[in-house]
A and B are shown apart, each in its own frame.
Chain A
């Protein structure tokens, strides 16, 4: 029963996050902004539309969105949502599979972008690949830190169960959350790293890769992006709110946490401007350093 609830929450909830973020940004800009359920309407609309495929594209272009959505879905099966809902599949080392599934999704999107043959999509793809290559160490170092702190290498046992981590590794947890937030911002192409709303070719990273997609393909990509945001958010939320409660309590706590996460994301997006392209690697390396420091602190604590 809990697995069914997990799947339901995982499949339905994410587009709402996007809506909340856009709504917060609109509030900051003094306008009403699109309704919170806007993304659901878009998805519904796109799924019923036709598609336009460029002459230069091959089957890889069509496979791109499909593979990336599938990979993100399977990744979701590994992630426990909050304390109460353990992941349907949990085994030692699923942290690695989770990260590499996201990598597969990215690989598929990049190939699809290159297939169109437009220089903009190529540029976006090369930037995406560069930033992700730098973000991966930060993500993996955080995983290492968590593995060290919780003496286990599976998401479910790391994130669910007694999260007595705070008082033991207080500062390290704070740095970890900082690093993970930065990684989430980079992976989901939010403001400081990339501008999801812009259409100016020179500045886009993730947006430009999906320029040429249309109809159901575009729907899949948007849905996949929201799933990814949701997953990375789940990690951050569980670390940020490590309180104990009964199963329904956990679920409520998790949903509230996610909403807060979305609001925070919106606040960040509206108070920051997009960084210059050569500044972004420095920020990502900073994230890795944060994670490395967290590992160092935990190492000292564990061995002390």
Chain B
């Protein structure tokens, strides 16, 4: 989206907006590399420790694997573009480009920029929803899997690699204006204006500062709570579920139930597939409902397109001439055709 805004701005002669767009796009590529690999490493760690990658059979891993949980949460927050981390910085640049486009570009790209702006916001919300679900279902709550597979924390070197990536995410988040020095030479190749003249300079420095402020404030609040509770009694007990006594892990919100309201909202885009079995009697002996959302693009667009193409090709192959007369006929027709077309 960033590159798109950049190109549109270049075509309408607004180098400043273009510089922002390309800077955002390029920085996001690096950031994406960081937090996506962090999330995958964490997923690998979870897979190694618990033996399965089925989200509905995980849960409560944070107790046994606190450091992996921390890294995964940092990764999740980064990918959702939340402030103290690097995801936000690059998305911030793209937003700046979009806002710049909204303010200064001619009317048609302007309205496109407004649409893009709203869509990016909605996507940001959905991304944080998706990764909140992932973090919650995997690491938080009580363990859903049977007792014997007790997950252990992964060995140190795995944690180290994840830690480094998480630190990098936070580092870029707080880096602020130093990023400009890195980005500027690259962006200069795209647009004449240097990043320093655009809004990015002021923006990035303050974003870095305020992210630092956020981390500082959070730390201060953490200390104050600890200080407040030092003389108070801190008890632990079962989760207060409005008094319901027999709480089992399976009663927790699973990943699919967490996503269910969202699927409802986007029902006619996602087109969820629902399998229901079991009798519909008043007290059915066994009832099973399973619902999942296969990727609609693949199901309706790519699938039929490819199979259709393959069938068409094989039909063409069968219809191929096999006798030598038809070979010569082909030459004859080409000859007459071309002569007629070019001479007639």
Question: What is A's interface to B at a CB cutoff of 8 Å?
Answer: 47-60, 62-63, 66-67, 69-71, 73-74, 77-78, 89, 91-97, 99-101, 103-104, 106-107, 110-111, 114-123, 125-127, 129-130, 132-137, 139-141, 144, 147-148, 151-153, 199, 201, 211-212, 215-217, 220, 277-278, 281, 288, 292, 295-296, 299, 303
12 contacts between A and B (CB under 8 A): A62-B225, A63-B222, A70-B214, A70-B217, A97-B207, A107-B77, A126-B259, A129-B128, A144-B118, A211-B242, A299-B114, A303-B110
Chain B at the A interface: mostly helix, strand, loop or mixed?
helix
Report the Cα distance A121→B244, complex, angstroms: 13
Within 8 Å CB of B103, what residues of A? 147-148, 151-153
Within 8 Å CB of B140, what residues of A? 58, 60, 111, 114-115, 117
With A115-B136, A303-B107 already in contact, the answer to whether A91 and B122 are too (CB < 8 A) is no
Select one of A93, A107, A220 contacting B203, CB under 8 A: A93
Within 8 Å CB of B202, what residues of A? 91-92
Interface residues of B in 46-83 (CB under 8 A from A): 59-60, 62-63, 66, 69, 73, 77, 80-83
Question: Is B262's CB under 8 angstroms from A133's CB?
Answer: yes
Within 8 Å CB of B73, what residues of A? 60, 111
Within 8 Å CB of A107, what residues of B? 77, 80, 82, 128, 132
Question: Is B60's CB under 8 angstroms from A92's CB?
Answer: no
Nearest CB of chain A from residue B128's CB, rounded to whole Å:
5
Nearest CB of chain A from residue B116's CB, rounded to whole Å:
10
Question: Is A100's CB under 8 angstroms from B81's CB?
Answer: yes
In the complex, whether B260 has a CB less than 8 A from a CB of chain A is yes
Nearest CB of chain B from residue A112's CB, rounded to whole Å:
9
In the complex, whether B240 has a CB less than 8 A from a CB of chain A is yes
In the complex, whether B102 has a CB less than 8 A from a CB of chain A is yes
Within 8 Å CB of B234, what residues of A? 50-53
With A136-B122, A278-B264 already in contact, the answer to whether A117 and B225 are too (CB < 8 A) is no
Further contacts, 9 of them, CB under 8 A, given A54-B236, A96-B95 = A56-B238, A67-B218, A91-B202, A97-B88, A100-B92, A101-B83, A103-B125, A215-B229, A216-B229
